[in-house]
Structure 1
Amino acid sequence: MLKQFEAHFKDLGYTEPTAIQTAVYDPMVGDHNVLGLAPTGSGKTVAFTLPALANLLPGDGIQLIVLEPSQELAIQTSRIMRDWAKLLDLKVVALTGGANVKRQTERLKKRPEVIVGTPGRVLNLISDRKLKLHLVSLMIVDEADDLLTGDTLDTVRAIAQAAPAGVQLGFFSATDTPILHELDKWFGQDVERIDVRAEDQTQGTVRHGLLQVGMGKRDQMLKRLLSMPNFRALVFFKQTNALQHTASRFYHDHVSATSLTSDLRQVQREKALQDFRLGRTRLLLTTDVAARGLDIPKLPAVINYDLPQSVNEYVHRAGRTGRMGEPGQVLSLGDDHDLRDLKKLLKETDYDLVPIYFGNRRLTTERPVAPKTPASAAVTTKQAATPQAKVPGSVTSKAATTTAHAPKPVTNAPAAPVQKKKKHKNRHTKNKGMRKKWRDRDAEQK
């Protein structure tokens, strides 16, 4: 590690590198192609930042390109890399979809050494001849298990082909997928596989709870959870329209919540994430756009409003909490059928899913006992006061019988006058006699 990096490493409060940071440094500095597999929150961004920046030359133009799956993650990565790059007098520019293209083009004219972007925007700028990769010596594909799927795989390959032949490649991911075993086939180069998931010790204690709540009561449950002191949570939805419905309801009820979806403008998305990080809002409602890579320090909880459909989805959602040794809580909401399906989905993993309950402004694994209502207490008292029926073969004391049937004491006080209730006659009662006379008269005439 460079001396400048060592000093900054200590200034940030780190005592020693994580497992992935140690494992990939020498191979990457030695120009090897690597695949780094490490758990969420284990410092993968810094793991590829330090060796990648160590080989760059200030003022020589774009030499490093980093691809990220979302705008938020690209902006977060660019900020982290910029913090280290300034130590070596290197410039970092973010190129993301949804941002102003002209402004990004102007920044490219300043000849930055590092580009961090989303694949779609990067390829568009390459096609428009606004971004040239002829000096690029290293390309990093972060969250590779996500980027190397579907149409995005073709986009990433097209970017790699626009770089010089034999460009050094780095792939990083928290979960393993079949395509990560076929990188040589898709990119034409051998890739060294470095997997430290079993030996990494950076993740804190994370509890995985199953909270049985029907669909119609999940918004109410989120409000109840906010009664817990210092509670904040990242809430994952499956569909944007359901998220917007909940967000609208919370807005009218003045609940401390904000939403983060792909249809928002970049400025709105940055503000929502910043407000949540700073504690201005306590619930961040989002889809899986925020499930990957986002670093929210000391996030207490992740809530699955809608349950994930795959193991990888659950892993990346759960990875937002319990990062860098901090404790965390994952809450999965659903009815009995939903929670059984989730258990089946995760049965091959090491996650310990336990039923959890909410009561007295806290989460507990003990099933709460319903308190007796005043009505039930009154019935119990009445039953206790009522004399029991005599069972054949039993003996009842004479005193108890006498007490139970004792007559009321007679007093000499004058009895209150009894008012006769006035009988109400409706029109049918009033004409009853006349109708009989009419029937008799009709009978005589016949």
Structure 2
Amino acid sequence: MLDVFKEKFMAQGFTEPSPIQTAVETPMLAGESVLGLAPTGSGKTLAFTWPILEQIHVGEGTQALILAPSQELAMQTTNVVRDWAQLIDAKVLAITGGANVKRQLEKLKKHPEIIVGTPGRITNLIGDGKLKLGHLQTMIVDEADELLTDETLDQIREILDATFAESLQLGFFSATETKILDELDRWFGQKVQKIDVRAIDQTQGIVRHRTMEVGNRHRADLLKRISRVDHLRALVFFNKMQELQHVLVDLRHQHVSFAALTSTQRQVEREKALRLFRQGKVDLLLTTDLAARGLDVPELPAVINFQLPKDVTTYIHRSGRTGRMGAAGLVITLGDDHDIRDFKKMMKSTDYEIKPAYLAGYQVVDTKPAKVKPTLTFDHPASATEPAGALHRVAGAGHPDSVREEPIVGVERPAKAAKKSAETPKKHRGHNKHSKKKGMRKKNRERFSEK
């Protein structure tokens, strides 16, 4: 590590690099291609940033390209790399979909040494002849398990074809391992050294993994109640945009503090939503797996799975948003009894300790709160007219809902009211409006019959 990097590293309060940062440094500085596997939040971005910057020659064109699966992750990575690159006067440019193309082209004319981008926009600029990669030495594929699939895999191979380096250094980084990561040599035609520190990495803090059983109709109501928990901010994950939009409208009507981060938004809207959440101005950030992949929200207290993750890999990446770099975290998965059974069955092969959780006041607790029967308070003593065995309400332990019902004892039941006396005079027929009308109708009939 360069001396200026060491000074900055120590100034930020760190004492030693994380396992992945230590493990990939030597092979990357030697120009070798690597596959780095490490838990979420373990410092993978800096693991490839430092070796890249140590090999950069300022003023000699674009020498490193970093690919990310989303605009948000690309911008997040850009900010990290740029923060360190300024120490050696290197320029870093973000090229992502959704951003102003003309502005990006103007900045490309300044020949940045490092480009961070999304595969779609990069391939478009290469195809239009606007981006030249003739000086490229290193290409990093971040969140490789996500990017090396379907269309993005083809785009990455297209980008490689546009380079002229005889031995381009490749770096693949991920928190989870997929089949294609075991076949990188065949797909990219060169030896890729696998470096897996997941078993020894201890950078993640203590994370509680919990479930809350709730019916589908009441899931949004439970989310609203969870949002009231003290000091809680949470990323809320959905599988489908349709469900996210439905809940979004419901929460807006209930005045819940939230923002949404989706792939259908304009970039300025996405940046605003993420900024409000990171600044703590909203309590919930509703999102999907694609939009939130790899996001780093410092000291994020919780993650909520509004809809069940489709597989273990998805759960790992979702839960990895909390408990980063030693901080404590909480992951809550919502669902009815059938959902919870399926979820536990899916997670059986993992080491996660999944337990039920409950809401008690403004806290999430592991012990089910005791049910308290409702009661009211009588401010006056039982009267003699109250029947024996009747129920009265007794004040509970200082809570409006904490009351109990007890039988009133020692009070004789009064005799039933006697039937109406035969001496009670009957109402005069004329006082009955129905009888009166009947009499009038008879009188009218007689009148017309006389005519």
Q: TM-score range by the shorter chain?
A: 0.7 to 0.9
Q: Corresponding residue for 1:197?
A: 198
Q: Deviations over 1:363-420 (max 9, x none)?
A: 11111221012288759522x727xxxxxxxxxxxxxxxx97999xxxxxxxxxx987
Q: Corresponding residue for 1:413?
A: none
Q: Corresponding residue for 1:441?
A: none
Where does structure 1 differ by over 4 angstroms across 4 or more consecutive aligned residues? Answer: 375-380, 403-407, 418-432
- Alignment of 1:117 onto 2:141: no
Q: Corresponding residue for 1:285?
A: 286
Q: Corresponding residue for 2:298?
A: 297
- Alignment of 1:157 onto 2:182: no
Q: Which range moves more in the overlay, 149-158 or 31-40?
A: 149-158
> Within 2, Cα distance between the matches of 1:421 and 1:366?
67
Unpaired runs of 5+ in structure 1? 387-402, 408-417, 436-446
The alignment partner of 2:349 has SS state of coil
The alignment partner of 1:115 has SS state of strand
* CA displacement at 1:290 relative to structure 2: 3.6
Unpaired runs of 5+ in structure 2? 377-390, 394-403, 416-422, 443-451
- Alignment of 1:276 onto 2:277: yes
Q: Corresponding residue for 2:16?
A: 16
The alignment partner of 2:348 has SS state of coil
> 1:213 is aligned with what amino acid?
V
> Within 1, Cα distance between the matches of 2:92 and 2:413?
96
The alignment partner of 1:385 has SS state of coil
Instruction: Pick closer, same or farther for the CA change 1:405–1:141 going to 2, 3 Å.
Output: closer
Instruction: Pick closer, same or farther for the CA change 1:367–1:119 going to 2, 3 Å.
Output: same
* CA displacement at 1:254 relative to structure 2: 2.6
Q: Corresponding residue for 2:235?
A: 234
- Give the 5 Å matches for 1:88-127: 88-127=88-127
Q: Which range moves more in the overlay, 142-151 or 238-247?
A: 238-247
- Decide whether the 8 Å contact of 1:307 with 1:333 is kept in 2: yes
Aligned residues: 407
- Give the 5 Å matches for 1:343-382: 343-374=344-375, 378=393, 381-382=406-407
- Decide whether the 8 Å contact of 2:263 with 2:291 is kept in 1: no
> Within 2, Cα distance between the matches of 1:266 and 1:218?
29
- Decide whether the 8 Å contact of 1:137 with 1:168 is kept in 2: yes
> Within 2, Cα distance between the matches of 1:244 and 1:253?
14
Instruction: Pick closer, same or farther for the CA change 1:404–1:345 going to 2, 3 Å.
Output: same
* CA displacement at 1:227 relative to structure 2: 2.1
> Within 2, Cα distance between the matches of 1:101 and 1:360?
50
> 2:296 is aligned with what amino acid?
D
- Decide whether the 8 Å contact of 1:291 with 1:316 is kept in 2: no
* CA displacement at 1:426 relative to structure 2: 7.4
Q: Corresponding residue for 2:3?
A: 3
> 2:195 is aligned with what amino acid?
I
Q: For the aligned residues, what is the CA RMSD?
A: 2.4
Aligned identity (percent) is 54
Instruction: Pick closer, same or farther for the CA change 1:156–1:431 going to 2, 3 Å.
Output: same
Instruction: Pick closer, same or farther for the CA change 1:422–1:35 going to 2, 3 Å.
Output: farther
Q: Corresponding residue for 2:74?
A: 74
* CA displacement at 1:264 relative to structure 2: 0.6
* CA displacement at 1:431 relative to structure 2: 6.6
- Decide whether the 8 Å contact of 1:63 with 1:137 is kept in 2: yes
Q: Deviations over 1:61-95 (max 9, x none)?
A: 00000000000000000000000101111000000
* CA displacement at 1:429 relative to structure 2: 11
* CA displacement at 1:13 relative to structure 2: 1.5
Give the TM-score taking structure 2 as reference length: 0.86
The alignment partner of 1:281 has SS state of coil
> Within 1, Cα distance between the matches of 2:330 and 2:205?
10
Instruction: Pick closer, same or farther for the CA change 1:253–1:405 going to 2, 3 Å.
Output: closer
> 2:338 is aligned with what amino acid?
H
Instruction: Pick closer, same or farther for the CA change 1:420–1:14 going to 2, 3 Å.
Output: farther
> 1:52 is aligned with what amino acid?
I
> 1:307 is aligned with what amino acid?
L
- Decide whether the 8 Å contact of 1:243 with 1:286 is kept in 2: yes
Instruction: Pick closer, same or farther for the CA change 1:426–1:345 going to 2, 3 Å.
Output: farther
> 1:182 is aligned with what amino acid?
E
- Decide whether the 8 Å contact of 2:62 with 2:111 is kept in 1: yes
Q: Corresponding residue for 2:448?
A: none
> 1:53 is aligned with what amino acid?
L
Q: Deviations over 1:75-118 (max 9, x none)?
A: 00000000010111100000000111111111100010000000
> 1:332 is aligned with what amino acid?
T
- Decide whether the 8 Å contact of 2:213 with 2:337 is kept in 1: yes
- Alignment of 1:385 onto 2:385: no
